[in-house]
Amino acid sequence: MIFSSSIFLLVFLPFVLIIYYTLYSQRLAQNIFLFLVSLLFYAWGEPWFVLIMLLSILVNYAIGLNIDLHRNNQVISKILLTITVLYNLSIIFLYKYLAFTITNINTLFSLTLPVPDIVLPIGISFFTFQAISYVIDVYRGQGEVQKNPLNVGLYIALFPQLIAGPIVRYETIANQINHRKENIADFSEGCVRFIIGLSKKVLLSNNFAIVADKAFSLPNDQLSTAFAWLGAISYSFQILFDFSGYSDMAIGLGKMFGFHFDENFNYPYISASISEFWRRWHISLGSWFRDYVYFPLGGSRVDSKWKLIRNLFIVWVLTGVWHGANWTFIAWGFLYFLLITIEKLTRFERTSGLRIVRHIYTLFFVCLGWVLFRSIDLSQACTYLGSMFGIGGRYTDSLARFYFLDNLIFIIFAVICSMPLLPYMKKRFHYHDLKISYILTPIFYIVLFFVSLTYIIKGAYNPFIYFNF
């Protein structure tokens, strides 16, 4: 089940909200209900995958208890921590990387080992990383151990962030599991945030997906330079509004139930360096690797540049691998490793100069990176990048002009929504001080919701990128 579906919007969410608030002031009953409907939400497409998540919950719950029990014995605690990390990563490896690994072994050594056809459980990387976060935070004393397995299950399986994040750190939500406070203000803000995310996904991302899919599906000899750039830019907007839209919906849904999740996007396309881009893009993943991998390795406070390069290499290869079992993702992660390493060694962000020049440099390489990310394999990525730079094709054609003009209004709105213009205008002109805003604002969001709902009901193109991760 996805948020941008009629079954979720018209049946699942209203039902869950009504029952949840019928149980108001009965926290245990609310938590049990949320856990059960979260399992139903996850099981909607592939019921058997729920068993994998339940097993993950029970194993991490048990290890968390034992780490807390042996807190004064560092040797046992570290052994238990190692076991839980290996267990969780082995689940990801089995379902996500085993077939990829065997395929490459066969190619490298000319073998014919059988390649298993394994279906990837939706969102496995997200809920597994949250499970790891629970045990590590208990080990570090940054969150109280849960004696009730229901609470661990609710943290890992809570449906707003289950499928595609944001990756909620246990220390962020530990106290909220039993002590959150629902109120009208949060519920209203949650509704608004959900509608904003829904409209990003349905009205912007889905329309850019049509252009991107067309460009990346064309043979190289039919792809002009102009259309290659239009396709790459369209995919850049598609993935931004797809993922940030889902994060907005998740954060909004969390607020409806009294949970407060951290922000996951902060206008990444206004960045003036690659390092800044990754402080603004998928913040929860970046902070997860920073706090659980980069800092334990020593971070940037190491005694040699080679150790710094090693730490960056490990983090960015892991970031690429996390996104999928394909050499394109590894190349994508390696590209960011090179760029961020150069920026850190040259102290790029401290250099003087026009921000607009650094901004163009950032967007240029981010766009090239998305070509790697979107391509089926490295061969397609190379030929597509070649088309972008005029190798082996025409510079423009009627197809590029048609798709550009047909989507011009979406491009304009995408550029506007990629910049913090609305927050600036609200702050600059004190929009909320105007009495008319109390009338116009609700009308605007109601209209936005029904326009998005209309697109969904009529069966508009509705892919979702991050289900694959």
Every domain of the chain and the residues it spans: 6-180, 186-468
Express each pLDDT in 137-155 by its tens digit: 999 988 888 899 999 999 9
Active site residues: 323
Residues 279, 266: Cα–Cα separation, whole Å:
8
Express each pLDDT in 77-133 by its tens digit: 999 999 999 999 999 999 999 999 999 999 888 888 898 888 888 888 888 999 999
Residues 6, 459: Cα–Cα separation, whole Å:
10
Alpha-carbon 456 to chain mean position:
22
Least confident residue range of 269-283, 338-352, 418-432: 418-432
pLDDT band at 390 (very low <50, low <70, confident <90, very high): confident
Express each pLDDT in 310-337 by its tens digit: 999 999 999 999 998 899 999 999 999 9
In one letter, which amino acid is 441?
A: T
**CA neighbor of 383 nearest in space, from 274, 239, 231, 238:** 231
Residue 122 confidence (pLDDT): 84
Q: In 302-377, which ranges are continuous DSSP H helix?
A: 305-323, 327-346, 355-374
In one letter, which amino acid is 82?
A: T
**CA neighbor of 325 nearest in space, from 146, 85, 95, 27:** 95
Q: What is the mean pLDDT of residues 239-261?
A: 95
Express each pLDDT in 277-303 by its tens digit: 999 999 999 999 999 999 999 988 888
| Torsion angle, alpha carbons of 161, 166, 169, 174, to 10 | -40
Measured in degrees and rounded to the nearest 5, phi and psi for residue 288 equal -65, -50
Sign of CA dihedral 218, 220, 224, 225: positive
Residue 185 confidence (pLDDT): 92
CA angle (359, 166, 294) in 5-degree steps: 70
Tokens of 297: 């390795």
Residue recorded with tokens 């661990």: 152
pLDDT band at 175 (very low <50, low <70, confident <90, very high): confident
Residue 434 predicted with pLDDT over 60: no
The count of other CB atoms within 10 Å of the CB of residue 109 is: 8
Q: What is the mean pLDDT of residues 163-168?
A: 81
Residue recorded with tokens 């002109």: 429
Sign of CA dihedral 138, 310, 101, 167: positive
Residue 433 confidence (pLDDT): 57
Contact between 377 and 327 (Cβ < 8 Å): yes
Least confident residue range of 221-230, 399-408, 455-464: 455-464
Residue 442 predicted with pLDDT over 90: no
Least confident residue range of 171-185, 237-251, 261-275, 303-317: 171-185
The count of other CB atoms within 10 Å of the CB of residue 45 is: 12
Q: What is the mean pLDDT of residues 58-69?
A: 93
Q: What is the mean pLDDT of residues 382-395?
A: 88
Least confident residue range of 2-11, 214-223, 298-307, 455-464: 455-464
The whole-chain average pLDDT of the chain stands at 90
Residue 466 confidence (pLDDT): 62
Residue 465 predicted with pLDDT over 80: no
